[in-house]
Amino acid sequence: MLKNIARVQMSTRSFTSAVSKAFTEGAALDASKLEINPNAAPSTPLPNDQLVFGQTFTDHMLTVEWNKGKGWSNPVIKPYGPLVLDPSACVFHYAFELFEGLKAYRTPDNKIAMFRPDMNMKRMNKSAARICLPTFDNEELIKLIGKLIEQDKHLVPEGQGYSLYLRPTMIGTTAGLGVSTPDKALLFVICSPVGPYYKTGFKAVRLEATDYATRAWPGGVGDKKLGANYAPCILPQLDAASRGYQQNLWLFGPEKNITEVGTMNVFFAFRDSKTGKNELVTAPLDGTILEGVTRDSVLALARENLDPKEWDINERYYTINEVKERAAKGELLEAFGSGTAAVVSPIKEIGWEGQDINVPLLPGEQSGPLTKQVAQWIADIQYGRTKHGNWSQIVADLN
């Protein structure tokens, strides 16, 4: 099975690369041609306690049109408002749509910084190439998003757990009901001041291990950020919720390999009772797992900060039955999800075959010590309290 997955992954990469080259003709995306039409009635920030994730938006949005013959048009920042699209646009009928999610934060020196935007742009281009939408220069779109944030910098909330969520999106806009390659597209970016993704904040969740529905499969698009990946997951989530679980723990194949949790990557920490060695493990990037920016950050920080004499950091296949067996032996230490929206989400129970697998938590707290430490490492970098290479990119000055 693993050899087949690797072969499919290699073929998909070659195919995507070829498609990407076919959509780079015409004018390139150029941030220097930006046009700004300011909103004449700027809004005032909402109090932090009134921010519901993804429900409040800033005063401006970025739009860039693409045409197969001419390439990218001049970018425009304009007042936030509705899009006007033909009812036969291919985005509505054949799901020519992709998106990204990243955040910008206030730093202690009163600046606004985006967290690892280069990773999101790279993934966005991979998604675009896979569904025959145009690709673009990563740095040019980062510059444009920076200009958009600068227009609304007064709306970036302040405080731990608060940030500006950024949603770059690309859709096919070709009118007509024939199934074909889009010759028109729209790239747009909207911004949302947000607080914690879960209303309960940093609180451990219950998962239901799910094998009756599949989130992704070899040769599919589970590693791409496409809207079509998300709608089919809602019904199994509602089904799990009816039994008291907040999210699904997605399993795949006859082995019941653990892949992701809800819309996040997932990590488990084990201790080998024979050797005393700890292991932090997550599923490998085999084409079915989303290449999460937070996932990559967790792996990098764990490898930098955890003592290699005490910890192994592995990307490998592991199953729900391994988790169950190791929990029974006292070898399950912690588990958490990772993603841009919630950043780090601790796990306390996993429902499987009519029983709950208990995940240890610190006494009186909502996570294990490693989960808590990982969340702190990432937050310190995001909010500018700690420097880490080029992970933070300053885009606006509030002084």
Model confidence over 193-235: pLDDT tens digits? 999 877 666 789 999 999 999 999 999 999 999 999 999 999 9
* Per-residue confidence (pLDDT) for residue 200, from 0 to 100: 61
The reply to whether 84 and 140 lie within a common domain is yes
For residues 164 and 81, membership in a common domain is answered with yes
Region 129-143: mean pLDDT is: 98
Residues 67 and 158 in one domain: yes
Note the pLDDT of residue 342. Answer: 87
Q: Are residues 209 and 280 in the same domain?
A: yes
Q: Provide the number of structural domains found in the chain.
A: 2
State the average pLDDT for the chain.
93
- Cβ-Cβ contacts under 8 Å for 113 (sequence gap 6 or more): 104, 105, 107, 382, 384, 392, 393, 394, 395
Instruction: Please name the residue that has the structure tokens 């499919």.
Output: 8
Examine the domain organization and report whether 137 and 211 are in the same domain.
Answer: no
Q: Is residue 100 located within the same domain as residue 126? A: yes
Residue 297 belongs to domain with CATH number: 3.20.10.10
Domain holding 81, by residue range, is 12-194
Cross-strand partners of 346? 336
pLDDT exceeds 60 at position 14:
no
CATH number of the domain at 177, please. Answer: 3.30.470.10
Residue 399's pLDDT is what?
A: 81
Asked if 312 and 248 sit in the same domain, the reply is yes
Pair 257, 133 in one domain = no
Residues 133 and 253 occupy one common structural domain: no
pLDDT of residue 279: 98
Q: Which residues does 306 contact at the CB level (< 8 Å), separation at least 6?
A: 280, 313
Within-domain flag for 231: yes
Domain shared by 66 and 188, yes or no: yes
Q: Which of 295, 125, 290, 106 is nearest to 194 (CA)?
A: 106
pTM: 0.93
- Whether residue 242 has pLDDT greater than 90: yes
Q: Are residues 47 and 162 in the same domain?
A: yes
The reply to whether 380 falls in a domain is no
- The reply to whether 170 and 233 lie within a common domain is no
What pLDDT is attached to residue 304? 98
Q: What is the mean pLDDT of residues 268-282?
A: 97
Domain boundary among 152, 171, 194: 194
Is there a domain that residue 382 lies in? no
